[in-house]
Structure 1
Amino acid sequence: MPSGLRIDLLGPLTVRSGDAEISVGPLRQQAMFAVLALNAGRVLTPEQLLDLVWDDDPPPTGIKVVPTYVYRIRKSLPPGSRLERTTAGYVLRLDSDVLDLERFETMVREAGRNDDPEQALALHDQALALFRGQPLSGLPGQYLAGQRRRIAERREKALGTRIQLQLAAGRHVEAIPELIGLVADHPFDERFAVLLMNALAGSGRQAEALETYQRVRRTLVEQLGIEPGPELRAAQQTLLRADAPTPTARNELPYGGAAFAGRAAELAEVVAALRTPTGSAPPVLAIDGMAGIGKTALAVQAGHRLASQYPDGQLFVDLHGHTPGREPLGTEQAVDHLLRGIGVPADQVPGCLEDRLSMWRSKSSRLRLLVVLDNAPDAATVRPLLPGASECAVLVTSRRLLVELDAKCRLGLGLLAMEDATALLSEIAGPDRGDEAAVQELAEHCGRLPLALRIAGARLRHRPSWSIQHLNERLRGRRRLRELDGDANGVRSAFAVSYEHLPQDQRRLFACLGLFPGKDFDVKAAAALAGIDGPTAEALLEHLVDASLLLAPRPGRYEFHDLLRGYAVEVADDDAAVGRLVEHYLAVAGVEPDLTWADLERSNLLAALEVAEDAAAVRLALVLAPYLHGRSRLDELDVVLTAGLAAAERRQDPEGQARLLFLRGNFGQFRCGPQKGLCDLRRAAELAPEDAPALRARILGSLGYTQGTLDPSSDHAELLRTSLRLAQLAGDRRAIVETLSRLAALAIRQHGFAMALEYYERALKLAREIGDERLEPELLNGIAVCRLAEDDPLPALEATRAAQRLAAVHELDFSLSYALCHQGEAHRRLGRNKLAVEIHEQALKLAIGNCTHLDEVDARLHLGRSLHSAGRTEAAVEQFDLALRLSEDRGHALGVVEALTGLADCTRLATRADRLLRQAHSQAKIAGYSALATRLANRLDHPSANHG
């Protein structure tokens, strides 16, 4: 079994090898893999697999589909994985630590055997933490549905045991929030109701425990027509006989809410940090985050869990640092509240603020208090309110990062995980309001922000006729903030308060950033938008991060939360900002953008193109197109060229049109065949100004090459000579190199290898004089082709190695693919067939990644030849078949000829070999490849050599 393989079933199916996630294919294929994993070590017959995966609705091919699916799964797994075929069927063999379900079962068993309650509790926590959502989520089939129910039952049993251990350890307050949710989710499961009653009673909340009994009883009677069972009735009788404890301390913590999802790790961190005070000063924990992120909810939940640790009281003060329509609470008002909270009568409170603060510190020094200071405006407000004893603890929440506050721990809250966001929505809106995809879409519309999720859920609950799909429609587009802003506590209102508290320079930058068209940005882009210098922009950006109005996902990069971006767009008002940004991108990109920078900013550059004025859009498209082609971003390349051409047409810019048409035609022929680019190149030649000889040289060179490829009898030679003359007239040595390269390529097509070699060597010499290494790989590959045609593999090998090195250095994937093809061919000629196959497999993988069909055809043809030479005829036929199909689909005549010839070489039937060769000969004649047609005719004249 490969090291680091992990298969997780306790949630959506996930397969990992080390840090890399592995896809095991489409949904039904995932289902088969899950079935094999659940039955690891057990042989399943093909019939069993068919039944377990497809139930009563097998595919038309029936059992024949099983080997195909198993083969695909095996190919997707890392080397060393043991998915084996036996005489009886298939078996997946796994090591003991691979499957999360097995780890869960092992930990639960160990917990059951452990006599130490704390260790048993820790093992249950570890086991339950393995669940990432609904087990086997989304996978089809009755068998997996049954397994899903079985695993859920095991989880609930382990959950119940863990809570019993918590209660036995006296952690009643900790258990209550989770039990409230469990009772709501399982209204007919009396086990959880009993546990909740015991937890409430154990924390002094006997009345609530008895109310829980009455509520569960009503549910059972009204919906099932039965009375509670003996265990639940016994729990009630025990409570009725007990004397209710009288609380002696003040608990001001607000109601924790019935709906509280996620935050398990954060809650555990807060509780652990404040559970046991140590040191000479009270531990202070600060929670910060953007408006609506759930800071107060987390603090309150933590406070309830910690209540038993602080028996002298739990005090809560809302400092109103960011409350719409209210000024922040002053220190005098806040300390008055705290003094009342510890029982100081009003007539004993000193008149002087300093005396009040002194009294607070003195009296709190003899107590064990938990103090929650919510919604703090700044550190200066918080510091005087800190109690005077190490036995107290303080929880502070604020939208700002309170850097000046001496906090033991700081916790920055992020967005809810998707499964927690959807759970919160379902809890508030009610179950069965829409399918899983619609609920997830709604969670994304709400930005997975708890405040927005609560508002959306409440709207659905109070509008039973609304579906989730309907609310999703309302939240699409620019109306989203309005839909999520019902009153003073809405999302937009919360953002507005944060914005209005900013200084003027921070407000202006925030508003300018609302005009940024992409997702994340750096300091220089922000400075360009606002028209300020870099150091000033960086300082302001960091202030916005501290104010929780911007995110900093990684050093030097910034972005908005999705909903905050919408608010920034609303307040944006600088019409010149986008123009400054586009000019900044053009200045940095230059003629050839730095690849590392361009890769990082690619999505932003594409977004800037959409909002740029026409003149800038043309310039930006001309910069982006060659970069995207070199990076094999072909869909994006089409978008950029289309947008640039539309802008050039709107501003009646014939030269801009000519340049963009040239790029589209030139790239198109290499991606999809010469016919693809012919019309664009002809139109580019018509539009190119006479006083732009360098541009005309490049256009005519490409047009001549394209016409020569399609029709060797055309006037392409004249076009190429004109291209060469214009390039020399313009002094454009790069254009001269390109034209010489095209002349060489056309010479190769007619088997004029000596002439082609001369062109390539002239071009290579000139490229080295220019000092542009990016031009060299294509020329070195051409030289290798000529040397191979002369049956001189050693110089060819040397040329391809040089091409490979330069292509790798400059990240020229197309040239690298060709270099590997010719390098493998050189090794094949030298009799190194195994090495040739390995290199050609690398070339094919790279070509497929490049998304260029002609590259893929070329790589498959080379791989087919090397496989045939290695004696792997069946595999070679597969490659030639695929090359033939691709070539026919794309109208690639030369690919058709070479694939047919390869198939003829592989067949052992003389009649079939002759038929394939005749097809190839016919295609070569039609396409005008006279030299190739002659060579094939010679083979047909010697039929004894035409079969393998």
Structure 2
Amino acid sequence: MPSGLRIDLLGPLAVRSGPADVSVGPLRQQAMFAVLALNADRVLTPEQLLDLVWDDDPPPSGIKVVPTYVYRIRKALPDDVRLERTTAGYILRLDPGVLDLERFETAIAAAGRVDEPEQALAIHDEALALFRGQPLSGLPGQYLAGQRRRIAERREKALGARIELQLAAGRHVEAIPELIGLVADHPFDERFAVLLMNALAGSGRQAEALDTYQRVRRTLVEQLGIEPGPELRAAQEALLRVDPAPPLVRNELPYGGAAFAGRSTELAQVVTALRPGQGSAPPVLAIDGMAGIGKTTLAVQAGHQLATHYPDGQLFVDLHGHTPGREPLGSEAAIDHLLRGIGVPAEKIPHCLEDRYALWRSRSARLRLLVILDNAPDAETVRKLLPGAPECAVLVTSRRLLVELDAKRRLGLGLLPMEDAVELLTELAGPGRGDQTAVQELAELCGRLPLALRIAGARLRHRPAWTVEHLNQRLQGSRRLRELDGDANGVRTAFAVSYEHLLAEQAQLFSCLGLVPGKDFDAAAAAALAGLAPVDAEQLLDQLVDASLLLELRPGRFEFHDLLRGYAAEVAEPGDGVLRLIEHYLAVGGAELGPAWADLERANLLACLDVAATQEWDDAVVRLALVLAPYLHTRGRLDEIDHVLTAGLAAAARAEDAEREARLLYLQGHIWQFRCGGDKGVTDLRRAAELAPDSAPELQARIFGSLGYTLGTQEPASDHSELLRTSLRLGQLAGDMRVVIETLGRLAALAVRQQEFTRALEYYERALDLARELGDERLEPELLNGIAVCRLAEDEPLPALDATRAAQRLAAEHSLDFSLSYALCHQGEAYRRMGRTKLAVEIHEQALTLAIENCTHLDEIDARLHLARSLRTARQAEAATAQYDLALRLSQDGQHTPGMVEALTGLADCTPDRVRAGRLLRQAHAQAAGSGHAALAARVERRLTPTALPS
């Protein structure tokens, strides 16, 4: 299956490639993709696609829009997904199992071939679990609406078949809640009514079953004017002949609650695992999770569904392992409760505790019991209370992972999905209290934690004047835990009990982690923060995870639940932990942050810088800024670069550290040069040159090299060579070959601007040899791109293509997105020169996409100019003109003369109006000459001869 591709239609459209989500674009584009997926491996003509996606309201461009949409979809998908263009139309080829709809249909068909009800039921459960909501929800068009209805009807048919299997397996109680909802949603579907009556009767609730018949009959008569059909009447007649079932023994299960949302998958897992007859020992299932996650609620719901399977009693014991203000229930009290629950009189309970355990095991061995041990403090307490027969079942809940407990299955509860959290809030607070966005925001502020959601819902219910938006405002910042507390069952109180049960060293680390500036961390970072050895920190982190006070969402990466992070910050004590953490990050990251490590830790490094800036830890701020800015530049994160450099320069000025202020000014000027051209960076570079001390020749070399190059791009006629020669001399004096290589590259680039390609090629090849001697592959792509430019200028596309391929490979390996964009530009140009125009257009479109993502004007201008040339060669003059226009506007915004000149000459080439073409060429010539770009002006002037165009 390509790229681990998954396409989910049984809910909102979702596309995943392995673990990563894939966005296929805006709504109408999603609709087209859904149409292609529903018709996978079938050719759809452009006319069919237009009709199926837009119905009777096509866009003004008509069928022309289809290739554009298909192209965007193809670019969004992994490279090995086959969305192909044939002579007849378009076809999306999918391997078996990619579509959830296909997996659903295959599973239902397989279930129909299975004779054993439980096995068929399990297959139905897996198939129906694929539905995540309304199929294709939110996608426009009549065709998709029809498909939505068809799939919904198929689901309802499968639901009916699954419920029939449930009843055949004797699982009547489990089926009732779902059937009640189905009958309410489908009041005229007699099949669901019959199933509900059978389920109620099988649970000993004949009166309710008969009442169901009367309600359904009344609906049919009053609204449709018809009597029930023969199947429904037969179900009623059968009920009238049945004696009521005898009552159950003792049911201690608490009330299941008026509001229960989500957890359908987990509930099914618990019920399936605890059905009788699954081994020679009592089935034991342990549910663990953080405070307020809904463990008890899930256990009680499962208990009610399992009740009929254990007719001798359903016992519930709260062991108070984490109850505010109470010590855990002692073993003596717990065993007494269980013995009384199976009918042992008080006078018959032995005085000796071991004899009580023996009596419990002996008596329970002859019974079919369901025992729920809630809020267990540890595994040892639970082990003593296990019954003595395989016909019994035990369900345990605990905040701790009870690793020592011999449980058949363990279930760790996570947060509610957003859809379920919104449903729970709406059910508790009532509809109409805020728009969907506000309710989702409230769910996030509650951390999608059921306890917090219930408290928030209750506050809204009891305060009719409040809106969801108002409560959201109250939950901002440090007030959040206070707003979600207030009584013995509040969120903070629940967290406090878990914290108080920690051992001293666990509690100390937990409180230290409250100082973490970022979101997640590894064991080494936690060790640095708390001043521990890494091995000790790792062990304690595992213990905090087992205590449900910390999450490990990925191996070795830890983070708090959002609300627990707030509680940890409350109990944290100020200290120098964050400074130790910053030192750790700087030591691990080194002078040049490795892209893979920095991508993982970027948010944490930025958060550390913000804390350090707030505390005015100037040395830490400057050191972080010096390593972060170059890394962020390679990743195109422009807003973050500005933030980092602003903070770093302020800290360096406060510290009166001239050298490091010069380094930061150099970085700022250098980066601005690449982003928007030279004008923005000159002031910073000149100020950096003033501040840089003679004791730092490497820094001076970098500043003079960048300044010389910048002035050379601004004022081509000026003598900038002295600055560049100074840069070379200082770089050699400092023994810094990287500076020498960079300066040679700048000399080459300026020679290219002056159309001196032979001299430029000499500089580039000399610099490339030095880079390879140095062994730093990250320096090579920019030089290889320059070599490609020179080869193309000498009309040698094959050597240029070789250079761009090498540059592309190295840039991709080292995540150098800027160099990759340029490599693709020159590679496409080489293919254009070789006559492979279609391939050139595709490659230049890739280069433009990457340049836009990099957020740099110069990259985007260059990519648009290359794409425009390829489009013009492909005789797509209108599309080429559009790209030249955009490149011209961007060049004018950035005062980028070469871009303006090339865009104007390109527009002249695209227009059939020779008078307008001459006007554009004269405008280009004036721009080049007026800006001192003599070589550019001469090149344009050659096209302005009297025989070429009219004056």
Contact preservation (8 Å) 2:33, 2:73: no
Contact preservation (8 Å) 1:47, 1:63: no
Q: Note closer, same or farther for the CA distance 1:114–1:802 as it changes in structure 2 (3 Å cut).
A: closer
**Aligned position for 2:930:** 926
Q: Note closer, same or farther for the CA distance 1:44–1:407 as it changes in structure 2 (3 Å cut).
A: same
Structure 2 CA distance for aligned equivalents of residues 643 and 371 of structure 1: 60
- Cα deviation for residue 199 of structure 1 reads 3.2
Contact preservation (8 Å) 1:335, 1:385: yes
- What pairs up with 1:513-528 in 2 under 5 angstroms? 513-528=513-528
Structure 2 CA distance for aligned equivalents of residues 374 and 305 of structure 1: 17
Q: Note closer, same or farther for the CA distance 1:237–1:465 as it changes in structure 2 (3 Å cut).
A: farther
- Cα deviation for residue 546 of structure 1 reads 0.7
Choose which of 750, 768, 789 in structure 2 pairs with 1:746.
750
Q: Secondary structure at the match of 2:395?
A: strand
**Aligned position for 1:383:** 383
Structure 2 CA distance for aligned equivalents of residues 440 and 321 of structure 1: 33
Stretches of structure 2 that go unaligned for 5 or more consecutive residues are: none
Pick which of 600-609 and 759-768 moved more.
Answer: 759-768
- Cα deviation for residue 499 of structure 1 reads 0.4
Q: Partner letter of residue 894 of structure 1?
A: P
Contact preservation (8 Å) 1:277, 1:393: no
- What pairs up with 1:787-802 in 2 under 5 angstroms? 787-791=791-795, 796=800, 799-800=803-804, 802=806
Is 1:900 the counterpart of 2:891? The answer is no
Choose which of 52, 65, 69 in structure 2 pairs with 1:72.
69
Structure 1 CA distance for aligned equivalents of residues 212 and 392 of structure 2: 32
Is 1:816 the counterpart of 2:820? The answer is yes
**Aligned position for 2:307:** 307
Pick which of 816-825 and 353-362 moved more.
Answer: 816-825
Contact preservation (8 Å) 1:744, 1:760: yes
Structure 2 CA distance for aligned equivalents of residues 821 and 42 of structure 1: 34
Structure 2 CA distance for aligned equivalents of residues 212 and 452 of structure 1: 37
Q: Note closer, same or farther for the CA distance 1:746–1:48 as it changes in structure 2 (3 Å cut).
A: closer
Choose which of 626, 631, 635 in structure 2 pairs with 1:627.
631
- What pairs up with 1:768-847 in 2 under 5 angstroms? 768=772, 770-791=774-795, 796=800, 799-800=803-804, 802-826=806-830, 840=844, 843-847=847-851
Contact preservation (8 Å) 1:316, 1:374: yes
Is 1:370 the counterpart of 2:374? The answer is no
- What pairs up with 1:361-510 in 2 under 5 angstroms? 361-510=361-510
Structure 2 CA distance for aligned equivalents of residues 918 and 813 of structure 1: 36
Could you list the per-position Cα deviations for residues 644-681 of structure 1 after superposition, in whole angstroms to 9, with x for gaps in the alignment? 22333444444333222211111111122222322322
Q: Secondary structure at the match of 1:401?
A: coil
**Aligned position for 1:129:** 129
Q: Note closer, same or farther for the CA distance 1:406–1:91 as it changes in structure 2 (3 Å cut).
A: closer
Q: Partner letter of residue 682 of structure 1?
A: R
- Cα deviation for residue 905 of structure 1 reads 4.7
Is 1:319 the counterpart of 2:315? The answer is no
Contact preservation (8 Å) 2:276, 2:392: no
- Cα deviation for residue 752 of structure 1 reads 2.8
Structure 2 CA distance for aligned equivalents of residues 826 and 195 of structure 1: 71
Q: Note closer, same or farther for the CA distance 1:653–1:782 as it changes in structure 2 (3 Å cut).
A: same
Q: Note closer, same or farther for the CA distance 1:254–1:609 as it changes in structure 2 (3 Å cut).
A: same
Could you list the per-position Cα deviations for residues 777-799 of structure 1 after superposition, in whole angstroms to 9, with x for gaps in the alignment? 33343344334444455655555
Structure 2 CA distance for aligned equivalents of residues 675 and 64 of structure 1: 42
**Aligned position for 1:270:** 270
Choose which of 60, 63, 67 in structure 2 pairs with 1:63.
60
**Aligned position for 1:700:** 704
Q: Partner letter of residue 68 of structure 1?
A: V
**Aligned position for 1:636:** 640
Q: Secondary structure at the match of 2:60?
A: helix
Q: Secondary structure at the match of 1:256?
A: coil
Q: Note closer, same or farther for the CA distance 1:473–1:184 as it changes in structure 2 (3 Å cut).
A: farther
Q: Partner letter of residue 935 of structure 1?
A: R
Could you list the per-position Cα deviations for residues 495-544 of structure 1 after superposition, in whole angstroms to 9, with x for gaps in the alignment? 11000000111101001111111111101100111011111111110110
- What pairs up with 1:144-163 in 2 under 5 angstroms? 155=155, 159=159, 162-163=162-163
Structure 1 CA distance for aligned equivalents of residues 123 and 7 of structure 2: 20
Structure 2 CA distance for aligned equivalents of residues 642 and 412 of structure 1: 45
**Aligned position for 2:330:** 330
Q: Note closer, same or farther for the CA distance 1:45–1:597 as it changes in structure 2 (3 Å cut).
A: closer
Could you list the per-position Cα deviations for residues 244-296 of structure 1 after superposition, in whole angstroms to 9, with x for gaps in the alignment? 43324222222222322222222222222221334432222111111111111
Choose which of 688, 706, 717 in structure 2 pairs with 1:684.
688
Contact preservation (8 Å) 1:863, 1:876: yes
**Aligned position for 2:573:** 573
Contact preservation (8 Å) 1:24, 1:73: no
**Aligned position for 1:289:** 289
Contact preservation (8 Å) 1:181, 1:258: no
Q: Partner letter of residue 72 of structure 1?
A: Y
Contact preservation (8 Å) 1:292, 1:494: yes
Pick which of 629-638 and 600-609 moved more.
Answer: 629-638
Q: Secondary structure at the match of 2:287?
A: strand
Contact preservation (8 Å) 2:129, 2:265: no
Q: Secondary structure at the match of 2:204?
A: coil
Q: Partner letter of residue 71 of structure 1?
A: T
Structure 2 CA distance for aligned equivalents of residues 827 and 42 of structure 1: 31
- Cα deviation for residue 142 of structure 1 reads 8.5
**Aligned position for 1:662:** 666
- Cα deviation for residue 603 of structure 1 reads 1.4
- Cα deviation for residue 685 of structure 1 reads 2.9
**Across the two proteins, how many residue pairs are aligned to each other?**
937
Structure 1 CA distance for aligned equivalents of residues 261 and 723 of structure 2: 70
Q: Note closer, same or farther for the CA distance 1:192–1:443 as it changes in structure 2 (3 Å cut).
A: farther
RMSD: 4.1
Structure 2 CA distance for aligned equivalents of residues 734 and 91 of structure 1: 51
**Aligned position for 1:586:** 586
Q: Partner letter of residue 76 of structure 1?
A: I
Could you list the per-position Cα deviations for residues 298-348 of structure 1 after superposition, in whole angstroms to 9, with x for gaps in the alignment? 222222222222222221111110111110011111111111111111101
Structure 1 CA distance for aligned equivalents of residues 361 and 735 of structure 2: 84
- Cα deviation for residue 738 of structure 1 reads 2.5
Structure 1 CA distance for aligned equivalents of residues 555 and 566 of structure 2: 24
Contact preservation (8 Å) 2:52, 2:142: no
Contact preservation (8 Å) 1:46, 1:63: no
Identity of aligned residues (%): 73
Contact preservation (8 Å) 1:277, 1:392: no
Pick which of 934-943 and 510-519 moved more.
Answer: 934-943
- Cα deviation for residue 852 of structure 1 reads 2.6
Q: Secondary structure at the match of 2:668?
A: helix
- Cα deviation for residue 470 of structure 1 reads 1.8
Q: Partner letter of residue 627 of structure 2?
A: V
Contact preservation (8 Å) 1:648, 1:654: yes
**Aligned position for 1:255:** 255
Pick which of 461-470 and 153-162 moved more.
Answer: 153-162
Structure 2 CA distance for aligned equivalents of residues 95 and 588 of structure 1: 43
Pick which of 500-509 and 705-714 moved more.
Answer: 705-714
- What TM-score, normalized by structure 1, do the two folds share? 0.87
Structure 2 CA distance for aligned equivalents of residues 619 and 384 of structure 1: 58
Contact preservation (8 Å) 2:45, 2:88: no
- Cα deviation for residue 887 of structure 1 reads 2.8
Q: Note closer, same or farther for the CA distance 1:782–1:102 as it changes in structure 2 (3 Å cut).
A: closer
Q: Secondary structure at the match of 1:317?
A: strand
Contact preservation (8 Å) 1:654, 1:688: yes
Contact preservation (8 Å) 1:183, 1:189: yes
Q: Partner letter of residue 294 of structure 1?
A: G
- Cα deviation for residue 767 of structure 1 reads 4.0
**Aligned position for 1:887:** 891
Q: Note closer, same or farther for the CA distance 1:559–1:790 as it changes in structure 2 (3 Å cut).
A: same
Structure 1 CA distance for aligned equivalents of residues 38 and 781 of structure 2: 51
Contact preservation (8 Å) 1:531, 1:577: yes
Structure 1 CA distance for aligned equivalents of residues 123 and 228 of structure 2: 31
**Aligned position for 2:564:** 564
Could you list the per-position Cα deviations for residues 128-178 of structure 1 after superposition, in whole angstroms to 9, with x for gaps in the alignment? 333212334344678877876776576556545643553354321111333
Structure 2 CA distance for aligned equivalents of residues 775 and 47 of structure 1: 51
Q: Partner letter of residue 69 of structure 2?
A: R
